């Protein structure tokens, strides 16, 4: 009876005027021993129940977020000629990877109140509620700057191509230093900076082959992994020494 009542409620709800239909160039990313990064093509269309509105501007925002994790950010100062850690802030949760691509400048496709509600820009997805150090926001900015330099945080304004306000596509580059886990692809459709629809899908990022075997061995049998690493180092050293001796003759 409850299920039937819920079905009647869903049928009674009005259909969305504009709705996202999404596609991905790949549904998973494999990290191998020779992994040097990858590109994900995000593309889709906008399904409509009515003609395209003329009085407002369409915006498309695509985000790809890696697993969140706590991070300790430290500040260094020079004391008596030596650089030492002085202050530190523990960020409660920061994405290991985050890319946000837009169809126009961010200020044109997203209002600040919508960013506060949905948490779309990079500062909004980093949570640091327990920081008690003075000027703790500077630690968050430093984390963003460092990870942006490593291509782990990306802001790609104007990187989403929209054709006839119906088709859209963009490419997100994943660097080689990815963290394994579930990556969330989130697409927002906006009108005059307000979110009118959203779509979420997930992309598994996993180590495979030799990389997976070594990872499992290191975590499940650290002693055997250490012995194997030592044996490889000994053999490599002996081989290099033998080769050098032959070259000297």
pLDDT above 70 as % of the chain? 69
Q: Note whether 153 and 41 are same-domain residues.
A: yes
Q: Note whether 222 and 148 are same-domain residues.
A: no
The CA dihedral of 175, 190, 159, 105, to the nearest 10 degrees, is -110
Average pLDDT estimate for 121-139: 77
Q: Note whether 137 and 50 are same-domain residues.
A: yes
pLDDT of residue 164: 85
End-to-end CA distance of the chain: 90
Which tokens sit at 49? 């129940």
Q: Which helix (H) or strand (E) holds 88?
A: strand 82-95
For residue 25, CA distances in Å to 43, 44, 169, 207, 221 come to 8, 11, 11, 19, 37
| β-pair partners for 188 | 61, 198
What is the residue-averaged pLDDT of the chain?
Answer: 79
pLDDT of residue 103: 95
The confidence band for 40, taking pLDDT boundaries of 50, 70 and 90, is confident
Q: Is the pLDDT of residue 215 over 60?
A: no
pLDDT of residue 17: 75
Q: Is the pLDDT of residue 12 over 50?
A: no
The confidence band for 133, taking pLDDT boundaries of 50, 70 and 90, is low
For residue 233, give its domain range. 208-249
Cα distance between residue 189 and residue 81, in whole Å: 53
5 falls within a domain: no
Q: Is the pLDDT of residue 35 over 80?
A: no
Report field, pTM of the whole predicted structure over 0.85: no
pLDDT of residue 64: 94
Q: Is the pLDDT of residue 61 over 50?
A: yes
Q: Note whether 19 and 115 are same-domain residues.
A: yes
Q: Which helix (H) or strand (E) holds 122?
A: helix 122-125
Q: Count CA atoms closer than 13 A to 21's CA, side-chain side.
A: 7
Average pLDDT estimate for 162-189: 89
75 falls within a domain: no
Q: Note whether 126 and 23 are same-domain residues.
A: yes
80 falls within a domain: no
For residue 192, CA distances in Å to 13, 59, 117, 119, 127 come to 24, 8, 16, 18, 27
Q: Is the pLDDT of residue 123 over 80?
A: yes
- At residue 244, the 3 state secondary structure works out as helix
159 falls within a domain: yes
Average pLDDT estimate for 220-236: 67
DSSP 211-224: HHHHHHHHHH-HHH
Q: Note whether 41 and 141 are same-domain residues.
A: yes
């Amino acid at each position: 009876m409850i299920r039937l009542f819920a079905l009647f409620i869903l049928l009674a709800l009005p259909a969305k005027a504009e709705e996202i239909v999404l596609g991905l160039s790949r549904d998973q990313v494999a990290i191998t021993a020779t992994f040097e990064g990858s590109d994900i093509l995000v593309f889709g269309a906008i399904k409509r129940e009515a003609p395209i509105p003329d009085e407002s501007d369409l915006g498309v925002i695509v985000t790809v977020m890696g697993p969140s994790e706590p991070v300790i950010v430290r500040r260094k100062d020079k004391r008596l000629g030596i650089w030492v850690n002085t202050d530190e802030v523990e960020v409660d949760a920061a994405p290991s990877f985050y890319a946000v691509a837009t169809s126009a400048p961010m200020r044109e496709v997203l209002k600040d109140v919508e960013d506060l509600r949905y948490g779309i820009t990079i500062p909004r997805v980093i949570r640091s509620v327990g920081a008690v150090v003075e000027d703790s926001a500077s630690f968050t900015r430093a984390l963003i700057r460092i990870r942006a330099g490593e291509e782990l945080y990306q802001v790609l304004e104007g990187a989403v191509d929209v054709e006839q306000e119906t088709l859209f596509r963009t490419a997100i580059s994943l660097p080689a230093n990815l963290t394994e886990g579930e990556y969330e692809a989130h697409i927002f459709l906006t009108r005059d900076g307000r979110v009118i629809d959203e779509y979420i899908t997930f992309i598994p990022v996993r180590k495979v082959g030799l990389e997976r075997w070594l990872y499992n061995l290191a975590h499940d049998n650290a002693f055997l992994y250490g012995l194997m690493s030592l044996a490889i180092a000994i053999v490599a050293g002996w081989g290099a020494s033998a080769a050098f001796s032959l070259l000297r003759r």
